[in-house]
Amino acid sequence: MFFGLLCFLKLRGARIVRIVHDVDELRRRRRLLRRINRALSAALTDQYVFLSASSREAFARMFPRLARPDHPTLFHPHFRVAGH
């Protein structure tokens, strides 16, 4: 349903922007499903925005054909445990 919605929005002229925080997958199972998800996401995404230089560098290593210099990097502070 998610990719159907993205396709519908693209047909209506929307631009899809994905925010990249961490490129490591939380679960390593279902490789085929992850591969399909990445291919569809890449085909539908117009712009990536990175929350740190390290996420930008990791993304470029994992997906070199998607990495472009015009993808912006925003400032995102480090998460800290409250009281430490």
Q: How confident is the model at residue 81 (pLDDT cuts 50, 70, 90)?
A: low
Identify whether 59 is part of a domain: yes
**Would you say residue 80 lies in a domain?**
no
Range of the domain at 27: 4-75
**Number of domains comprising the chain:** 1
What gap in Å lies between CA 54 and CA 3, rounded to an integer?
Answer: 28
H or E stretch including 63?
none
User: CA gyration radius for the chain?
Assistant: 15
Identify whether 53 is part of a domain.
yes
- 17-63 residue pLDDT tens: 998 877 776 566 777 888 888 889 889 999 999 888 888 888 898 88
Flag the least confident range among 1-10, 43-52, 61-70: 61-70
Model pLDDT, residue 55: 85
Judge whether 66 lies within some domain. Answer: yes
Distance CA 48, CA 9 (A): 17
Asked if residue 84 is part of any domain, the answer here is no
Asked if residue 81 belongs to a domain, the reply is no
The answer to whether position 9 is within a domain reads yes
